[in-house]
Structures are given as C-alpha cells and as structure tokens.
Amino acid sequence: MRRLALILTLLALSMAISANLLWDEEIAIRQGVNIEWFRTGIDTHDGCAIYVWSDTKLGERDLWAQKVDAQGNLVWGEPVLIDGKPDRQEDPTITRTSDNNYVIAWIDFFDDPDGNVYAQKINAQGQRLWQEGGVPVCTAPAVQLSINMEPDQDGGVFMVWMDARNPSKDIYGQRLNANGDAVWAPNGIPIADDIGDEVQNTMLPDGTGGMMIGYTVDYGGDEDIYVKRFLGDGTMAWDNALPLAVGAESQGKVRMAAIGNGEFIFTWQDQAGNDPNIMAQKVNLAGQAVWPQTVAVYSDLDADDSYPQENPRIVGTSDNAAIIVWEDKRLDTQDPDLFAQKINASGQLLWDVNGVALSTAPFAQFGPRMASDGAGGCYVVWDDRRNGNTPNEDVYAQHLSATGEALWGAGGKPICTAANTQEGSLVKVAGDNIFINWMDMRNGSIGLYYQVLNSSGNVLLEADGKEVFWGLSGDAPLNNYLVLPRANDIAIIWQDTRFANIGYQIFFQYLNPDGTIALETNGRSATTSTGYDQSDPQAVVTPDGHIYLAWIDNRHEHPRIYMQLLSPTGERLWGDTGVPLTEMAPIDQKDPKLYYDASIDGLYVGWSNSDDVGEDRYPLHTWGQFFQNGQKMWGPNGKLISVLDDATMHHECSLSDLVDGYYLWSNNSPETYNGFVYVNRIDPSGNPYPGWPEEGIAVHTRDDYGITQDAARLARTDSGIFVMYRDKLGSGGTVHYRGQHFSESGERLWDETPMMLSFNGLEQDKAALVKDGRTDCITFVWDENLFEDLDIHIQRIGLDGSFFWQPQGKPVVQKPGNQTEASVVSFDANNGLLVAWADYSSTEESDIYYKYIHPSGNFLTGSSEGGDVMCDALKKQYQPKLVTVGDYAYAVWADGRSSGKTEILGLYAQKLGNPTTPNDDYTLPAPMGFRLMQNHPNPFNPSTTIAFEITDATKDYRLDIYNIKGQLVKTLHNGKLIPGRHSVVWNGQDKNDKEVASGVYFYRLDDGQKAKTRKMLLMK
C-alpha cells in the first residue's frame, strides 16, 4: 500500500509539472506578417491576375496567393494558403499551364535546412490539385535555389534551379506532367554542370514540346554565356552547348524572347571595354547563332567616354521582333535612366540608333519589367526615385508603340506615388486590361497593391492602387523589451521596427490573466510617429496601474531621453509625442532608468548625459531627476549624480542601475583603462542621505592596472542595498561576479573587499537578480563556462554574507550545449523560485526551458533534471524574462519562429503556476491534454528518445514516425497509457526492423482529438 501511495504521489507531481504551463499554446504578443514579395504573378485566362507571396502571419513562413480582377475585387476573398508545412516556404514562382491551371514552385525548408524544390498546382478557383504539402521536385542534399519555370504543351511544366550538390553551383532541371509526376530522373537532371558556377539563366518553351535555356558560366568573376535545348524526354537536342558569348571579359545577365518560327532573340550585357554594353543575337531550334555578327543594341565602346549599360530585359512582340529595355548611366554616372530599342528578326535596330529614352528623370529609374501589347509594342513598368530619392521610390509605367512612341506621356505615367517606398513592380496583360502590382510601404510595413489600366492608359482603380494584402513587418529586437507586473495583469514594452523606413517606435501591450490582450493586436505605440528612431525603453508601474516610460529618442540632432505616462488602460497622458526629460540638449543622452517610490508617490529618474568638460571632451556622466505630481523637483535639467573633481571630470560615468534612490554607475578612466563601480543614495530633495558622500562610494577600489568592473546591478534588502558586478583584472583575467552590501547610511556591511559570489573560478556572465522577492536574503543566477559549455547556476546569500547553499552555488542545469540568459523570480506566497533560460542542448537552435526550486533550495520533485520545455518552436527562442503576479508567473521571450533569410523576432508569452506552494494552498491548473517534447539527441545516430506527457487515461494514444514523403515508417505506440511522463526510444528502423536512410523524419502524437508533430534528423 505504501508503495502504491508513493507511485501515486510521484505521478501527481509529474502531472503538476507539465500542468504548470497554463496556456495550451504560447500567446503571441508581437507576431509580424513580414511579407516577402518575389515579383511572382501571372495573368489568367479569364481576365484576372494571380499574385503569390510568402508571409509569417501564422508564425512560420508560408506561401499564399490571391486572385484579383479588373474591378478591384479580391476574387478568392481571403488569401489562399498554397503551402503551410513546418519551417519555411519561400521564393515562389508561378506559370500558367496549357490546361489553364497554374503551377507554383518554391524553395522549401520543411525537410532540409539547405532548402529543396517543391511545387503545387491550383485551378482558377484557388483549389490545390496536387498532394497536400506539394510535390517534392528535388530533395537532393545541398542547396537548391533560384527556380525558373515555364509551361510545357501537356498541362505540365519545365523547371530549372540552382543546385549545389556537386558541390559547385550548377543548374538542374525537371519536367512535371499535368499530375505532378516527374517525367525526368528523380531530383532532376543536370542542365549545366561544367567547370565554373552556373546560376543565372533564362528559359522558354521551344514550341515543339521541349525547352530552350541560356545561362551564364562564372569562372571566378569572368562570365560566358551558353545556350542549350532539351527535348520533352530530357535529352539534349544538340550535341553540345552553343557558346553564345564567350571572350576575355565578362558577358552576363542574359535574357531571351521568343519571336516565332522557332527563333529566339537573346540579349545580355557585355564587358568588352571599361563598361558593359548591351548586345543581342538570334538562335534557332537547330542551335545556330543566325546573325553573322552579334548585334550591338547599344554600345559606346568606341566613344571618347563610355558609361555602363546594364541589366537588359526583353519581350517578344507580335510582329516577330523584340523590344529591349536597359538601365543606362550615360547621362548620370550614379543613377541609371531607362532606354529602349527594338530589333527585328534580321537583327536590324528599328528605333533611334542611340535608343529611345524611356525615362531620364532625376535620380534612379531601375528594375524594368515588360509585357507585349499584342500590336508590335509593349508595356513597361519600373521602380522610380524621381520624387525625392530613397526612400521615396514610386512605380511608373509606359506604353511603347511599335514605332517607339511613348503613348503614356514623356517620362512615363505615375502608377503609384504614395508616401514612402513602392518597389518590385510587375506588369501582366489579361485581355484588354493591364495589371500592374508592387510591394508597398506607404503604411510603414510591407503590403501588396495593384492597379489596372486599359490600353489607353486610363486608370481603372483608385489612385495609388488597391490593396491586395498588408501585414506588419519588422520585429522586436533583442535587448529592447521589458515585462512589468501590474496588480492583475502584465505590461510588455518593446522597441518595434515595423516602421523601419519611417522610424523605430516604442510599443506596449497589456496581457490579461486569461491570455487575452487588452490593446490592439501587436500593441499600441507610446507616441505617434515622429519620423525618427526610439530605443532602449525603461518603465515602472504605479500601484494603480499607471506606467512611467522613458526611452532614447533621435528626433533631434543628438539623442535625447523622452518620457511618457500611460494610463492603466493605455492612453497617452503626456502628449502624443511624449516630453523631453531635460531642456538641455547635449550631444548624447542614454541609459535611462526609472524607480517609483509608492510611499511618497515619487519617481526617480537616472540617465547618462554627455557633458562638455572642455578641451573638446564630452564624457558621459550620471544625472538624476525626481518627479512628484508630474513636476520636476530637481530643476529643469536634473542633478549631476556622479560628482567628480577637476582632475577626473573627463572620466566616463555611465549609469548602470537605479533602485529606491540608489544610483549605480561605472567610473572609467581613459588613462589607466580602469573601471570602478560607484553607488550613492539620493533623497527626494536631491541631496545624498546622511553617511553618503557627494561623490558616492566606490564599491571596490584597487590600484591594479586594467581593472574592469561592469554589468553592475542593485537589489534592495532589509538592511540597505546589495551591489553586484562583474570583475575582471587585465586582458587575460577570469571574469567573475563580486558583491557588496551597504547599509542605508552607506556603511559596508561585509568586508572591505567585495566578496566573490561563487568560488568555482570559472568565467561568469549574464547574471540576474531576484528584485521583487524576499528582502531578507539575496538570490541570483548566472551563466558559468564549464568545459566550453555555458550552464546555469543559482546562489542565495544571507544579509551577513553567508551562503545558504554551497559556496560555488547550485547548478540549475548542467548538460551538453549552452544554457544561457537565465531569468529568476520569487513567488510571493512562499518564496519558491522559478528559473527560465535559453537552452541550446538539442540543436543549434535554442528553446526556452524552466525549472522550479522549492523555498528550501531543493529542486522540485518531478521536474526533469535538464529542465522542462516551455517553448520549443522552430528556430531560436531566447532571452526569457519572468515576472510574478500573485501566485502565478509570466514569461515573455524573443521568438525567432518567423526567421528565414534574416532573423525576425516576435514576442511570445506563457503563464505558469506555482507548484512549490503546499498543495492545500495551491489549486492545480486544469490538465492541458498532452505535450510532445523535442527528441533528444537531435540530430541522432543511431537512436533517439522521444518524450511526451499525457493527462487522460481514457484516450488511445498513437505515436508514429513518418518520412519526408508523408509515408508511415513505424508506429512506436498505439493504445492507452497512464497519465504522466513517458519516453520511447526509436532505433532508426522501420516496421520491418530494417535501418532507414539518413534524412529528416517526423514523429506525431495523436489522441484522436488533437495531434502534435515534430521534426528530427537522422545523420549516419
């Protein structure tokens, strides 16, 4: 009976640990959409256009599409999800097939961190026609990028891409039939895999069931151009590639247009002289360069002065000719203009020998795209900076007639001149309508807009275009967010880059106990936009829920500190643009710090201020201010805190921390390179308290050369103030933490030499103090470098300097990989502790882990030795910040699940209970169903452990392994389980006990109502 009781007790504890994540899913505080526009669009057979993009509105990057008509309607209503597998899908391309459907191809990182090629077919209604998740076109190891795609004659497509499997950069290709089946060899055939790198290419159907491709070969900076033709079965039509443009100099940026009769005109930029010129040649189906000589579309090679002509684009016209447009610097060596030329099937230039000036407006015109008008001319659209240069980029267009006449007015027609940036323009012709679309930042973040014109150039939609889709861009940068507890909820404040082209701003959000947000989705700005960056927010909460906020603001010539007072419901009480902290305007202000004293309704403010000390020196000194009833009590500019004598006035004294009138700063000498930590206690009248000298007290003064004391912080105690700082002697010294305890009257309560806070003798960093917990002791955590891995340690010290635990502290977690950036809080009810950290033990990416510590200092029974997972979404999660409200804790962290080409960080939150409270004082939260952990190790060979926690003994649980094709590999469990934590080992074998190949696999836990899938990597 006793044994059964013990088992039930352990089971209950295990369930309590898992149940202490109180929300089934973490809450997005700031999650951007982050549209990536790849100039992907197509005209449709029914007179519309389809646009495709990727975005992160669901967290990870997915592919979406929308169909628009000439009347401004979004035909499919909400955007259609093309693919939403885990990780990211991006860089799409689209083509219309011969059966009037549409194939979209993209680079997919679902099953390979280097990217693979996938494709999906949709119909005119946006319905997916191929398998869920798309068809894997190429899943070969190594990088695949830069897809180019064209239709075949049978409802399928030809596709080529850059492939690094060899491992140089080559071009591989595949043909998919109308059902998505590979016609050529699995993972594609080599299109161009000679010596050198082959990446840039141009491809078109050849009109006879095959395809024609031109490509550049890069020999370490010198490029040549070749042409090949492939038949429908994947064989080469010619014995060898046609050397279209080879020579001592570079020939690149090749483009091609079909002009009928099995003939193709190629154009490229040719570096025969000092600057590139634009050349052309015609190639037939037999692989012959038809024109006796390469035609110079425009060349100033023989002129006295030559200028670059670059980046040609080409379109075939209805009269068996082609129009070429290029960027030209003959009139401006910095900013290109656009010129055009028409060339017929015989190689004759049909317009002015110098080309037709498409646009020579001020600043740059670039990035042209073209479409035939069906009457021997073409439509051209481009990005244009004539209205004020970057970031004022706009979209212009022109209709060139068959004779080169500008039909929409000299210099082009403005399509969109809205505020800020419009770029990445694209033109498609559907019936009698010309569809133009672009990426648009008029509202600060990226949106997609479009406009429709008729052949006469009349605009059919509203001025500056119709919105297709818009979403929040940017992110919440690291080290620029904070979390504040209020009476019944929490406030999150952060720097936000959503308006990067206008100016970063400070945003805030209130998070309710039930996981709902109180303000607008993704937060409310602390000020209206000023057009300049704001950074480094600092804030404090009053007992009634008001928030005092300070930040660095760049709206003036030099950075200054600005402030705002926010109401409990989020209204701006100090004006829409905030108020400057000082009337003076030095060359720099930084390091804002705030402390609210509820006993006197007073606000202490501190900052670092650049002071003019003569001899052209402007060191930073620590200043302070005190507010009561919204009024400055220390004059309009505050008070100098870091008082120095004349001999040391040039020292840098940057503010480190501020608690209850205690100001902490670092005094750094430019002569000795020494840095010492100082502290002073200032009363509300602006004078030091009795026992505190005007210049403050050096926490530890040593005469050694090259002392560095930094990363200092404060914690209030029952006896006074605790000072903690990082100490280093010389360039090779070990960095460790020291501490000192001062009475309220400035007496050192410990030895004259600040004590070592841990005696391991190892490198220490990133300490965090419990600031709002018990004040009869001092508790802190830190990173410690053990055998090149960072681990988390915790220590508690009495007010007399005695260690509660062993002198080296307690290891919170010690395991392979780095555990870092710990945060620690104390629960009010019983002084139990919660520690959270960023954990790199499973993969190169980091997750958020946590661990409870009983008030006695023992780790909570039932918790994993390595910590429990709080969030293990894809990509990196780090810098967790913890606060407590009553008997619950809230964690907020930087979350990189939207990251791809660059890191994009959102803010996510989770609520946790307090299982360190005795059972009769704590209500166990409702069970969450089940949790599936990341396998460990990952990557693995030959076996890995999969752990999961369940709470319902009545359900049947099934744990399956799948390969990247979605095929079942093995079932590890199928049936009922007792509640609690379970683990299963997969040995890398399938259901027939045969070893599987290396690669990406997925494991899925399903209880019949809910399912969770995770990814793992087997590497042999």
3-class state of residue 15 by DSSP: helix
* pLDDT of 259 strictly over 80: yes
Of 1011 and 779, the one with more pLDDT: 779
Please tell me the least confidently modeled range out of 36-40, 453-457, 785-789: 785-789
CA angle 143, 147, 151 (to 5 degrees): 145
Span 546-557, average pLDDT: 98
Decide if pLDDT at 701 tops 80: no
Show Cβ contacts of residue 970 under 8 Å, excluding neighbours closer than 6 positions.
960, 961, 986, 989, 990, 991
């409802």: which residue's tokens?
A: 155
Helix, strand, coil percentages (3-state) for the chain, rounded to 5, are 0, 50, 50
Across 285-354, the runs of DSSP E, i.e. the strands, are 295-298, 309-316, 321-328, 337-344
For the segment 419-423, the average pLDDT, to the nearest whole number, is 95
C-alpha distance from residue 735 to each of 476, 710, 758, 760, 765 (Å): 30, 10, 11, 11, 8
Q: Residues 748, 751, 756, 758: is their CA dihedral positive or negative?
A: negative
List of residues 6+ apart from 571 with CB closer than 8 A = none
Query: Which range is least confidently modeled, 54-68, 365-379, 561-575, 730-744?
Result: 730-744
Cα 857 versus chain centre, distance: 38
pLDDT score for 759? 79
Please report the pLDDT score of residue 732 as a whole number. Answer: 61
Q: What gap in Å lies between CA 387 and CA 846, rounded to an integer? A: 45
d(CA 242, CA 285): 11
| Per-residue pLDDT at 925 exceeds 90 | no
Residue 704: CB atoms within 10 Å: 10
Q: Cis peptide before 937, with omega less than 30 degrees from 0? A: yes
**Confidence class of residue 730 from pLDDT cuts 50, 70 and 90?**
low
Which whole number is the average pLDDT over 12-39?
A: 80
> What is the pLDDT at residue 998?
83
pLDDT over 80 at 313, yes or no: yes
So what's the pLDDT on residue 734?
A: 79
CA–CA separation, 412 and 259 (whole Å):
26
Are 878 and 897 in contact, with CB atoms under 8 Å apart? Answer: no
Q: What is the arithmetic mean of pLDDT over 869-891?
A: 95
Could you count the other beta carbons within 10 Å of the beta carbon of residue 487?
Answer: 11
| 897-908 pLDDT, tens digit each | 999 999 999 999
Q: Rounded to 5 degrees, what are φ and ψ at 13?
A: -65, -40
Is residue 10 helix, strand or coil?
helix
- 922 falls in which pLDDT band (50, 70, 90)? very low
**CA 195 from chain center: how many Å?**
36
Kindly provide the residue ranges of all beta strands, DSSP E only, lying in 650-719, ordered along the sequence.
Answer: 652-659, 662-668, 675-681, 697-698, 707-716
Q: What is the Cα 920 distance to its own chain's centre?
A: 45
In this predicted structure, the answer to whether residue 991 has a pLDDT above a threshold of 70 is yes
pLDDT given at position 706: 65
Report, as an integer, the average pLDDT of 388-404: 95
Among 228-232, 260-264, 304-308, 868-872, which is the least confidently predicted range?
A: 304-308
How would residue 705 be classed by pLDDT, with cut points 50, 70 and 90?
Answer: low
**Percent of the chain surpassing pLDDT 90:** 80
d(CA 787, CA 817): 10
In the structure, how many helices (H) and strands (E) does the chain have?
A: 1, 72
What's the confidence (pLDDT) of residue 841?
85
Token pair 């074998």 in the structure block, residue: 989
pLDDT-based confidence at 704, cuts 50/70/90? low
CA distance 621 to 715: 22
Q: Is the pLDDT of residue 54 over 90?
A: yes
Of the listed ranges 179-183, 275-279, 813-817, the least confidently predicted one is: 813-817
Which one-letter amino acid corresponds to residue 891? A
Sorting pLDDT into bands at 50, 70 and 90, what band is 1012? confident
pLDDT, mean over the chain? 93
Q: Which residues fall within 8 angstroms of residue 293, CB to CB, at 6 or more apart?
A: none
Contacts of 294 (CB under 8 A, 6+ apart): 245, 270, 279, 280, 281
Q: How confident is the model at residue 774 (pLDDT cuts 50, 70, 90)?
A: confident
Q: Among 22, 99, 8, which residue's Cα sits nearest to residue 909?
A: 22
Question: What pLDDT is attached to residue 6?
Answer: 32
Q: Bigger pLDDT: 510 or 273?
A: 510
At 913, the pLDDT band (50, 70, 90 cuts) reads: very high
What are the residues whose beta carbons fall under 8 Å from the beta carbon of 12, sequence distance 6 or more?
Answer: none
Amino acid at 833: L
Average pLDDT over residues 368-395: 96
This model's pTM is above 0.75: yes
Condensed to tens digits (0 to 9), the pLDDT of residues 197-228 reads 999 999 999 999 999 999 999 988 899 999 99
The Cα 105–Cα 54 span in angstroms is: 12
User: Among residues 950, 916, 919, 946, which one has the least CA distance to residue 933?
Assistant: 946
Binning pLDDT at 50, 70 and 90, where does residue 12 land? very low
3-class SS letters over 64-117: EEEEECCCCCECCCCCEEEECCCCCEEEEEEEECCCCCEEEEEEECCCCCCCEE
Query: Confidence class of residue 11 from pLDDT cuts 50, 70 and 90?
Result: very low
Structure tokens at 459: 């605009």
Structure tokens at 1002: 């997925």
Is 32:473 a contact under the CB 8 Å cutoff? yes
Task: Give yes or no for residue 920 having a pLDDT over 70.
Answer: no
Instruction: Quote the CA–CA distance of 129 and 100 in Å, as a whole number.
Output: 13
pLDDT of residue 390: 87
φ, ψ dihedrals at 291, nearest 5°: -75, 140
For residues 78-100, give the mean pLDDT: 96
Are residues 281 and 266 in contact, defined by beta-carbon separation less than 8 angstroms? yes
User: Residue 1016 — pLDDT band, cuts 50, 70, 90?
Assistant: confident
pLDDT of residue 497: 97
Lookup result for tokens 């109401």: 567
> In this model, does residue 729 exceed pLDDT 90?
no
pLDDT digits (tens, 9 = 90+) for 611-628: 999 989 999 999 999 999
Residues 6+ apart with CB under 8 A from 998: 1018, 1019, 1020
Q: Quick check: helix, strand or coil at residue 635?
A: coil
Q: Does residue 924 surpass a pLDDT of 50?
A: no
Name the residue type at position 293.
Q
**What pLDDT sits at residue 918?**
56
pLDDT at 527: 98
User: What token pair was written down for 185?
Assistant: 């060899």
Helix (H, G, I), strand (E, B) or coil at 575: coil
Question: Checking phi first, is residue 156 left (phi over 0); if not, alpha (psi -120 to 50) or beta?
Answer: beta
Query: Does 36 score more than 70 pLDDT?
Result: yes
Per-residue confidence (pLDDT) for residue 7, from 0 to 100: 32
For residue 437, pLDDT beyond 70: yes
539-562: average pLDDT:
98
Q: Which is more confidently placed, 843 or 589?
A: 589
Model confidence at 17, in pLDDT bands (50, 70, 90)? very low
Say how far apart CA 454 and CA 772 lie, in whole Å.
67
Residue ranges of E strands in 682-753: 697-698, 707-716, 720-729, 736-743
Letter string b/e over residues 987-1018, b meaning 16 or more CB atoms within 10 A of that residue's CB: ebeeeeeeebeeebbbbebbbeeeeeebbbbb
Amino acid at 87: D
- Partners of residue 108 on adjacent β-strands: 89, 116
Higher-pLDDT residue of 705, 932: 932
Phi-psi region of 593 (alpha: psi -120 to 50; beta: other; left: phi over 0): beta
Closest residue by Cα to residue 821 from 907, 881, 891, 897: 881
Distance (Å, whole) CA 766 – CA 781 = 8
pLDDT at 4 over 50: no
842-865 pLDDT, tens digit per residue, is 767 899 999 999 988 899 866 778
pLDDT of 19 reads 54
Per DSSP, what are the bridge partners of residue 163? 144, 170
Asked which of 395-409, 542-556, 701-715 is least confident by mean pLDDT, the reply is 701-715
Residue 13 has a pLDDT of 39
- pLDDT (tens digit per residue) in 817-838: 899 999 999 998 888 999 999 9
pLDDT digits 0-9 by tens, 220-235: 889 999 999 999 999 9
Which pLDDT belongs to residue 844?
75
CA distances from residue 94 to 101, 135, 149, 332, 654 in whole angstroms, order as listed: 11, 14, 7, 36, 56
Q: In Å, what is the CA distance from 697 to each residue of 604, 638, 722?
A: 19, 21, 13
